[in-house]
Structures are given as structure tokens and as C-alpha cells.
Amino acid sequence: MKILKYLIFIIGALVIVVGGVFAYVAATFDPNAYKPQIIELVQERTQRTLKLDGDIKLAFWPGIGADLGKLSLSERKSEKVFVAAEGLRVSLQLMPLLSKRLVVDEVTVKGARINLVRDKQGGMSIDDLTAQGDALAPGKAVEQKPVPFAFDISQVVIADSALSFRDEATGAQYAVSKLNLKTGRIAPGVPADVALSLAAQGNQPKLNLTVDMKARLTFDPGKQTYALQNLALEVRGQAADVNDLVLKAGGSVSANMKSGEFAADQLTVAATGKRGKEAFDVKVDAPRLSFADDKATGDQLAVGVKLTGPDGDKSVSLKSPVSGSLQARQFSLPQLQASVSASGVGVPGQRISGELTGTARIDVAKENAQLDIAGKIADSTLKAQISAADFSPPDIRFKIEIDQLDVDKYLSPKAAASGGGSGSAAPAAAGGGKPFDLSGLKAFRANGSLRIGAFKAGNVKAANLQADIKANNGRIEVSPLSANLYQGTLNGAATVNAAPAVPAFALRANLAGIEVAPLLKDLADNETLEGKGTVALNVTTQGNVVSALKRALDGTASLRLADGALKGIDIAGAISSAQASLGALKGEQTQQADTGQKTGFSELTATFKITDGIARNNDLSMKSPLLRVGGEGEINIGADTINYLVKASIVGTAKGQGGRNTDDLRGITVPVRVTGPLAAPSYKLDFGAMISDTAKQKIKDAVKNQLQERLFGGGAKSDPAAPAPDAPKSGGSARDALKGLFGR
């Protein structure tokens, strides 16, 4: 911890300053009489102002010591306080001084306040006190010979002290308060009990912590060995976006800096806290770890993570021995065992779990890692090879094979319901939907393949799904994308661009040999169309909610089906009914879709131009032995509505309703207006327009025949096989002509 490092530097600097003071006043009996000279000496040597507000009390036996009382030291060339203390006591052992060795016997600091500042150029306000030689007074290069300094302190006591740090370049501020440190004897190779407590605050990241630590410290600066035994560390508070943090650590750790060896014995780390609405519980258990330059070994290392939130619980646990080389910075988990589980209202069956085994390797020096793992999660058996190159950000390569995957089972019931069928999706779209966040994809880099034997998502089912995926700088390309579905095949590509503020999407797909009826039923709970054929899509859109994506849809679509039916209305039957009741029927007739009725066809084709979520079509063509149907109109995808005009004509012969033959209906065109929600449209048959058009044609034919008779003597007729119709009588009406047509 850098703050403690600076604290040690400061204490060392103070000890040296106090040592100089002792050397100056050692021969006097009244050190307070020399306060001005002491202050002047410190000012000359450090360019800092020393204030001694209390009496200096000296002791010469059994060691040389001084109690300086209340004091403060300013920043260099400034009156701002750098360090202040309510009391400072330092004593040196006498006998080592006679042999020109400096041995500190005791250090006691009470109520210290230390202010550290890093300027915009990166310099620290303590740099001058730790500099070698006298770089503080230009023109006075005073050679300083280091005094041999041996750590053999009977105790160190720091009580109710504080340390603050401010970085003027970044604006970061940190503070340590309520600092209390008490140690036993500190000497090379001698175990010493250490008790430390403090409170820490910061703004980058936000910190508000309390720390309590007890341990037995053993160190030897000459051999560069350090060890903490019987460690008991507890940290509580807030760190960054984590609240209610409780971190506890125990065990023993040691390090030999000269040989590069590190070891841990019975090391345990446990942390709990909350991030937003989710609580976490992390545990690490390392019975024995040993890291050397050329070798790293460890017994069964165990890591467990549990997350608890409003939607349920999720947990992951990992176990494996550890091996590797610290010098090469290479490590591996050769017998990795992983367990995963999730439970809650949004989990199928309230709980899923899985077991995976494999290996993991990491090369820190080359910044690459690899994971080979296989096993079963819920109903899916998977095999995955995942590698990462460059750790910041990682460049991921993967190959994943899954025998079956039902995505719907892993969605919450609400999410799954809103994804299947336009009837349930419409209210969500009207409300805008829940925004989705793709910002995490901006730094995502990946390249790999995904293979799934049986796949289901949004209630749509597919088999042999194959997708190659590339992701870089927020752009994800899935190409090629292929699958078998609904007795046909899917081939295409998809793109997601998360780099802009509003993400963009593109889809190109060709569905060949598809059975449309079960596809529409599963996709949108819609049963208006059946048949087999080809569907082609080439569309783009943008937005961060489903409703916005539907409104921003642009592109083209085409449809070519054979041997199918339009469900919800029997057009031929409706026309036949019109013939049976033509004398009484006037105007328009509206009927709701009736799934028990349908209009069969042998061929259906249409192309669509999609702009701002509205698909427009003007070339609908539907053919059957009985009917020819054309039409034009639009489908508002954003609002899930349709407004379409269909014109149907009888071209064949069949028995209509009531046993009537449709032979005498040939050539009649009936306009059918289809409007309303896509899930349940209404059909409006405009019989008035049908009557008017038929009467007009009848009059036109009659006039044509009369003209032919007068001009050619009746020798030429438009249809020699047909009898000449009676000419309309003076004062006759279109209705009379129509009656003549139907034999009324």
C-alpha cells in the first residue's frame, strides 16, 4: 500500500532529522535554549519551517532520547503544513552510538497529521527529504555519508494519526484517518506482533473503508525475506460501486525477494457485499501455494462465487491443483473442475446446474490464455475451446459445440412470453419496451465458430445451426449463418454495430423450402398463411428497444409459396354468397377473420419495399384453378397493423354455396379490404363496387354489340358462341342490366 510506504519514508526522515537534532544538542543541558538554532538549521538544510511548540525533554540513560512535544514541519519553500504531531518521542541505544551505529530503541508518534501532494509534473512533496546528498540548497553540495542504520526497535507506537494524499494532475484524493499502529520488538529475523487499524477514504475510486489487521511479522532486510504469520485481516465499508463490503483474510504468507520465492499456507480470503440490487459472496481457499522462479505448485486451489439478486441465485465454483513457473510467468490448472448453478423464479424448474471438467493455461508474459472444457449444463452437453491473446482488451478465439440449446428455458417467464407472438408483443411495443445496453461490446474482440445440434429461441426451432462470428470495436458479424428449419434451410448473415450511440442491425436471409404455417405459428402465434416455398429478407434497423427497431426497419422482402392457403376468409364462397343474395345485398360487408375458413392457392408471390417500419407491396399475385387474386397495400410493422386491398376474380368452375355453380361468376372482380391488427385482421368485401363494375361492363358490352349490329348488320359479335344480350331499354338502369346478367 503506497500510503504506508510513504508513511515509513516520513518516519525515517523524521528519525534522521531528530537524530541530527540530538547530535547538535547532545552536549547541552538546556535544549530549549537552542530552539532558534535548531529551527534555523532545519530551514537551511531543508528549506522547510520547523515549529517546536512544546518543551524538548532529553534523556541520556540508558539510551539517548528526546520527547519533542508538539511540533510541525512545513512544505518546502512554503508555510503550508507538511507534517504535524501532538507528540514525538524517539530514543537511540547508547552503546551502538559509541561504535558509530544507529540503533533505534523506541518510536512513539501521537496525533500526527501528514499531507502528501503529487504535483502536475509528477513530483512528490516528500522527494526532497528522501533525496541523496544536499540537493536542497543550490551552490551547497554537501557530501553526506550514510549512517549505518539497524532496525532493532523495542516498539513502535503511532496513535490517532492521519495521512492525506492529493494528486494535482488527476484530482484524486485519499485520506487515512484514525491510524493506530502498535508493534513489539522489530529486528531482523525476530518475530514481532503487529496490530494496525485505520479508516480510509478516497474519490478515485470512491472509498470509505475501515481496516483492522493483526499478524506476526518477521523480516530480514539483509536477506530480503518477509513473512506474515497468523494473519487476521478485516476490511469493511464501501469500495467503488460495492456497498456493505466485508473482506476477511487469514493464513500465512512469505516472500524471498532475492530468490524470487513466494509461499502461502492455509490462506483463506472471503468477501461479501452488494453491487446494486445484487449481493455477492466470494471465497478463496489455498491450503498450500509455492511459487519459485522456475516452478509453481499448489494443492487443490478452490474459488467460489455466489450472486444473489431479486431474480434468484447464481453460483460458480472452481477447483484444481496449480502448476507453472514464476520466472516464465506461466501457470496452469491441469485438473480443473467447475460447478455452476442458478435458481429462482426465472429459472426453468426453479433450478439448473452443471458440471464441467478440463484444463486452463495462462502465459502472463506473452499475454495469452487457453481454456479447454467439456461437460453438461442443464439439458445441454457442450465442448468448448477458448483462447485469449492480448489481455487489454482480450482478443478471444473460440470453438463451441452444443448438442441442444433451448434459449427460452433460460429467459424469465415475462421475457419469454413477450418474445412469442404479436398478440403479446404489441403491448410491450406500445410501451416502448425495456432498453438493452450493448456498450459492453465496444471493447469486445472475438473470432470463432458456434455449432448447435438442436436450437430453440423465441419459440422458433432449428437444427444443425452453424455460425461463424467475428467481433471487433463494437461490430459483430455472423457470417455465414445456416440452419435446417421447418422442412427447409436458412442461409444468410447478420451484423450488429454497437459502436454508435444507437446500435444498428442488419440481416440478410434466404429461407428455402420452408413450411410457412408452423414457422408463423411459432414465431408470431399467427395462423393466417400456409404453404411451402421461399422467403428472402434483406433488412436493416437501429435502436435500443424492440419497438424502435420495428419502426426503423428498412430493406426488402419477397415471398414465393406453392400449394397453400390464406386462412381467415373463403373468397370464392363469399362471392358465391353475393350471387345468391345480390338482389338484397347493397354496399359493404365486413367480417372478422375466421380460422375455419380459407382460400386455397397453387401459387402466391409478392415483393415488399420496407421503409421506416412500413412494408409496401403492389404486386401480390395469388393463383388457383378457381381464383386469380392481385393486390396492393402496406403492413405497418411498428404498429403491428395491416391495410391492404385485395382484388379477387373467378376464373374457374366450382360449386359455390347453396349448390350454385360459379361458372356464371367468371370475370367478376370483388375488392376485399384487409385492415386491423396483424393477429386478427378484419375483411371488408365491397359488393357495391362489385355491382357497379359489373353493370358498367354489361352496359359497355351491350353498346358495343348494338354498334356492331348497326355497322355490320349483326354479322359480327364479340363472342359468336354467346347469345346476343338484349339492348338496354330506354330508361333502363344498371341494376336492370345486372339482373339480366344473373338471369333475374
CA dist 644 and 28 (Å) reads 111
CA dist 659 and 584 (Å) reads 19
Out of 61-70, 423-432, 618-627, 677-686, pick the least confident: 423-432
**What does 583-625 look like in DSSP terms, one character per residue?**
TT--SEEEEE-EEEEEEEEEEEEEEEEEETTEEEEEEEEEE-S
User: In terms of pLDDT, which residue wins out, 258 or 305?
Assistant: 305
Q: First vs last Cα of the chain: how many Å apart?
A: 105
CB neighbour list of residue 536: distance below 8 Å, 6 or more residues apart: 509, 510, 511, 556, 557, 558
Please say whether the beta carbons of 587 and 685 come within 8 A. no
CA dist 299 and 305 (Å) reads 20
Q: Which residues pair with 438 in a beta bridge?
A: none
Q: How confident is the model at residue 730 (pLDDT cuts 50, 70, 90)?
A: very low
Q: What residue has cell string 457470417?
A: 479
Out of 173-177, 226-230, 673-677, pick the least confident: 673-677
Structure confidence at residue 478 (pLDDT): 93
Residues 47-74: pLDDT tens digits? 888 888 877 777 666 667 778 888 888 8
Q: How confident is the model at residue 512 (pLDDT cuts 50, 70, 90)?
A: very high
What cell was used for 470?
A: 467475428
Q: At what angle do helices 734-741 and 687-712 cross, to 10 degrees?
A: 90
Q: Which residues pair with 411 in a beta bridge?
A: none
Is 253 a residue whose pLDDT tops 80? yes
CA dist 294 and 528 (Å) reads 71
Structure confidence at residue 725 (pLDDT): 46
Structure confidence at residue 70 (pLDDT): 86
Out of 59-68, 90-99, 585-594, 631-640, pick the least confident: 585-594
Out of 46-55, 261-270, 496-505, 628-637, pick the least confident: 46-55
Out of 258-262, 346-350, 540-544, 666-670, pick the least confident: 346-350
- How many CB atoms sit inside 10 A of residue 498's CB? 22
Count, residues in the chain: 744
pTM over 0.85: no
Structure confidence at residue 732 (pLDDT): 44
User: In terms of pLDDT, which residue wins out, 391 or 26?
Assistant: 391
Please say whether the beta carbons of 105 and 93 come within 8 A. yes
Structure confidence at residue 741 (pLDDT): 37
Is 566 a residue whose pLDDT tops 90? no
Nearest to 474 by CA among 451, 493, 502: 502
Q: How confident is the model at residue 203 (pLDDT cuts 50, 70, 90)?
A: very high
Structure confidence at residue 585 (pLDDT): 43
**What does 457-516 look like in DSSP terms, one character per residue?**
ETTEEEEEEEEEEEEETTEEEEEEEEEEETTEEEEEEEEEE-SSSS-EEEEEEEEEEEEH
What cell was used for 370?
A: 487457453
Is 422 a residue whose pLDDT tops 50? no
Question: Phi and psi at residue 672, in whole multiples of 5°?
Answer: -125, 115
User: In terms of pLDDT, which residue wins out, 320 or 646?
Assistant: 320
Is 726 a residue whose pLDDT tops 60? no
CA dist 434 and 414 (Å) reads 12
Out of 355-364, 456-465, 715-724, pick the least confident: 715-724
Is 716 a residue whose pLDDT tops 80? no
CA dist 418 and 434 (Å) reads 11
Distance of CA 550 to the CA centre of its chain: 23
Please say whether the beta carbons of 90 and 18 come within 8 A. yes
What type of residue sits at position 426? Answer: A
Q: How confident is the model at residue 251 (pLDDT cuts 50, 70, 90)?
A: very high
Structure confidence at residue 584 (pLDDT): 43
Is 509 a residue whose pLDDT tops 90? yes
**Stretch (H or E) spanning 409:** none
What type of residue sits at position 112? Answer: A
Residues 10-31: pLDDT tens digits? 666 655 555 555 555 454 556 6
Out of 320-334, 345-359, 411-425, 502-516, pick the least confident: 411-425
Structure confidence at residue 4 (pLDDT): 56
User: In terms of pLDDT, which residue wins out, 343 or 737?
Assistant: 343
Q: Which residues pair with 468 in a beta bridge?
A: 449
Q: How confident is the model at residue 424 (pLDDT cuts 50, 70, 90)?
A: very low
Q: How confident is the model at residue 724 (pLDDT cuts 50, 70, 90)?
A: very low
Please say whether the beta carbons of 234 and 212 come within 8 A. yes
What cell was used for 527?
A: 395462423
CA dist 699 and 701 (Å) reads 5
Q: What residue has cell string 504468507?
A: 253
Q: Average pLDDT over the chain, rounded to whole?
A: 79
What cell was used for 81?
A: 503544513
User: In terms of pLDDT, which residue wins out, 586 or 509?
Assistant: 509
What cell was used for 353?
A: 446446474
Percentage with pLDDT > 90 across the chain? 34
**What does 702-737 look like in DSSP terms, one character per residue?**
HHHHHHHHHHHTT---S-TTSPPPPPPPTT--HHHH
What cell was used for 421?
A: 407472438
Largest Cα separation within the chain, whole Å, is 156
pLDDT mean over 393-420: 74
CA dist 142 and 135 (Å) reads 8
What cell was used for 641?
A: 397493423
What cell was used for 565?
A: 392457403
Structure confidence at residue 139 (pLDDT): 44
Q: How confident is the model at residue 421 (pLDDT cuts 50, 70, 90)?
A: very low
pLDDT mean over 227-252: 94
pLDDT mean over 306-311: 87
User: In terms of pLDDT, which residue wins out, 413 or 549?
Assistant: 549
- How many CB atoms sit inside 10 A of residue 378's CB? 20
Candidate ranges 122-126, 448-452, 568-572; pick with highest mean pLDDT: 448-452
Residues 327-336: pLDDT tens digits? 778 889 999 9
Q: How confident is the model at residue 425 (pLDDT cuts 50, 70, 90)?
A: very low
Helix, strand, coil percent values for the chain (each to nearest 5): 20, 55, 25
CA dist 475 and 442 (Å) reads 7
Is 715 a residue whose pLDDT tops 80? no
CA dist 260 and 54 (Å) reads 48
